[in-house]
Amino acid sequence: MSNADLRKAEKRLLKYALAFPEAYEDHPWGENVAKVGKKVFVFFGVPEKDKFHCCAKLPDSADFALTFPFTEPAGYGLGKAGWVLARFGPTDEVPVDMLEDWIDESYRAVAPKKLVKLLDE
């Protein structure tokens, strides 16, 4: 996967994340993140050449997610709260559909119940 392909995957996932009710993009600490309210529900990190990562809160599927070779518990103690970091380099295939599922789970874990209810209607 080329750097262009990594950026394409990142763009698609950011667009997906921003489609959730009241989601918006922010850049704390120089990172690209998607938030709902004041809470981050997915971290895309600082853009790096030939690298891409995605970090989501997975209260239901963290154990399964951590079985993949490209994942690890998120740093700064977030891993203990179910946050999983997925890292990809130029030779890795990004499983975009699966990451979209993780973003959905993370949004549902972080967003106010009234917004999650909108998704289920």
pLDDT tens-digit profile of 76-105?
888 899 999 999 998 888 999 999 999 999
Q: Which residues neighbour 112 within 8 Å (Cβ) at sequence distance 6 or greater? A: 36, 37
Domain borders along the chain are 3-113
Instruction: Read off the pTM.
Output: 0.93
Cα gap 86→54, rounded to integer Å: 5
Strands 32-36 and 83-88, how do they pair?
unpaired
Condensed to tens digits (0 to 9), the pLDDT of residues 27-60 reads: 998 889 999 999 999 999 877 778 889 999 999 9
Residues 36, 82: contact at Cβ < 8 Å? no
pLDDT of residue 16: 98
Selection from 4-18, 84-98, 103-117 with the highest mean pLDDT: 103-117
CATH match for 3-113 among 3.40.50.1110, 3.90.1150.30, 3.40.50.720, 3.40.50.170: 3.90.1150.30
Cα gap 112→49, rounded to integer Å: 35
